[in-house]
């Protein structure tokens, strides 16, 4: 990210910030979509993160860290949106199995479907660490910083999330090998 652009925005230059939105907006929105798995909530989270970035930008200590910082803001915004949504739905987990699948999921391979279903079952916090590490390519340490948690927390969340996803895939593979057992108690 161009340091001068960030510095201009830090001094209140709206045009510079506008350019920054063009540079990071798509990526932030993609991350929010994958964490929240709800288009409307993801849009709200991205908007909240961008406005928070504008509001707090003069206090950013290191302009070179702008992009990493915005990921942190969008993760916080995703968690805020999830919290509001959960309250609205009476503490139900966001987007559970009974919600419609992606339109094209029927044509996906069974493993992808199973992965999709298992990913939905994860909490927002667990989805977050998976997206940061396996979509954005952050290390667990970087993901911890983005999430604002100790590294141990990030590692344990990642471990749990991957274990959950792996188990779901393995169960699906077992079912595929033994179709007669499907549906048994």
Partner 1 sequence: MTREDEFIGQLEAYLDEYEGMTPLPSSIRDAVRAELPTTRQIGPVTGLMRDTYMNSSMDSPARWGLVVAVVIGAVIIGGALFFGDGVNVGGPSASTPSPSVAPSEAPSEAAVPSPGEPEDFGAHPGGSLDPGDYAFTHIEGIQVVFTVTAGWEKNPPDDVVWSIDDEKATMSARTIYNLYNDPCQPELGLQAPPVGPTANDLATALGSVPGLTFSAPTSVTTTDGVSGLRLHYVPPDDFRDCNGGDIQLAPEMLAPTGDRPVTIDIYDVDGTRVVIAANYTDARDVQLDQMLNSIRFD
Q: Which two tokens stand for residue 118?
A: 């298992």
Pick the binder of partner 1 from 55, 139, 171, 176 (CB under 8 A).
Answer: 55
- For residues 142 and 107, give the distance between their C-alpha atoms in angstroms, rounded to a whole number: 35
- Verify binding: residue 97, partner 1, rule CB under 8 A: no
* CB nearer partner 1, residue 99 or residue 135: 135
Calculate the alpha carbon distances from 143 to 15, 152, 153 in Å: 30, 11, 10
Shortest spacing between CB 184 and partner 1, in angstroms: 26
Segment 116 to 145, residues that bind partner 1, using CB under 8 A: 116, 119, 123-125, 130-131, 134-135, 144-145
Pick the binder of partner 1 from 25, 68, 121, 172 (CB under 8 A).
Answer: 25
Pick the binder of partner 1 from 101, 102, 110, 171 (CB under 8 A).
Answer: 102
- For residues 71 and 111, give the distance between their C-alpha atoms in angstroms, rounded to a whole number: 29
Shortest spacing between CB 128 and partner 1, in angstroms: 10
* CB nearer partner 1, residue 42 or residue 185: 42
Q: Do residues 67 and 9 lie in contact, with contact meaning Cβ atoms separated by under 8 Å?
A: no
Nearest Cα neighbor of 146 from 51, 87, 59, 67 is 67
- For residues 99 and 117, give the distance between their C-alpha atoms in angstroms, rounded to a whole number: 10
Q: According to DSSP H, which parts of the chain are helical?
A: 3-10, 14-36, 39-56, 66-88, 110-121, 124-134, 140-147, 151-177
Residues that bind partner 1 (CB under 8 A): 12, 14, 17-18, 21-22, 25-26, 28-30, 33-34, 42-43, 46-47, 50-52, 54-62, 65, 69, 72-73, 76, 79-80, 82-83, 86-87, 91, 102, 111-112, 115-116, 119, 123-125, 130-131, 134-135, 144-145, 147-150, 152-153, 155-156, 162, 165-166, 169
């Amino acid at each position: 990210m161009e340091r001068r652009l960030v510095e201009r925005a830090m001094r209140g230059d709206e045009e510079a910030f506008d350019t920054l939105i063009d540079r990071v907006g798509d990526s932030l929105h993609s991350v929010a979509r994958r964490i929240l798995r709800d288009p409307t909530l993801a849009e709200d989270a991205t908007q909240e993160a961008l406005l928070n970035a504008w509001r707090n930008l003069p206090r950013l200590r290191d302009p070179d860290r702008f992009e990493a910082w915005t990921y942190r803001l969008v993760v916080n915004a995703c968690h805020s949106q999830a919290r509001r949504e959960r309250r609205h739905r009476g503490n139900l987990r966001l987007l559970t199995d009974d919600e419609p699948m992606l339109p094209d999921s029927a044509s996906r391979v069974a493993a992808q479907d199973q992965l999709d279903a298992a990913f939905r079952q994860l909490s927002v916090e667990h989805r977050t660490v998976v997206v940061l590490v396996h979509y954005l390519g952050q290390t667990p340490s970087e993901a911890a910083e983005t999430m604002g948690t100790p590294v141990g927390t990030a590692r344990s969340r990642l471990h749990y999330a991957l274990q959950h996803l792996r188990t779901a895939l393995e169960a699906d593979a077992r079912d595929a090998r033994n179709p007669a057992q499907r549906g048994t108690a």
